[in-house]
Amino acid sequence: MRRKSNSEVLIWTAGLLGAAIILVLSGCSGTTSAASAPQMTPPEVKVARVEQRDVPIQREWVGTLAGMVNAAIKAQVTGYLLTQDYTEGS
């Protein structure tokens, strides 16, 4: 693999720098694209009158909860449980 000479590196650097300057200057043109774009109509907004009324403090909903970290509980040994030598819930 041949090594590039300093003049080749200088030419490539100057070319890339020139391309970057052209891109930057093309983005800084004096005309604005908003002037040439058609005027947009304002969006339709629904409005409701404020009224005082009683609202329920609580409601019942059906839902499913998922924790941030869910653990899979699996047996670490094979076999069957013959006796349950503990108090449930303790």
Q: How high is the pLDDT of residue 86?
A: 86
Number of DSSP helices (H) and strands (E) in the chain, helices first: 2, 0
Ordered by start, the domain boundaries in the chain are 1-29
Query: What does the alpha-carbon distance between residue 24 and residue 17 come to, in Å, rounded to a whole number?
Result: 11
pLDDT score recorded for residue 59? 87
pTM above 0.85, yes or no: no
pLDDT range class, residue 81, cuts 50, 70, 90: confident
What is the rounded CA–CA span in Å between residue 40 and residue 73? 57
pLDDT at position 34: 55
Q: pLDDT averaged over the chain?
A: 84
pLDDT for 35-46, tens place per residue? 566 788 999 999
Q: How far apart are the first and last CA of the chain?
A: 75
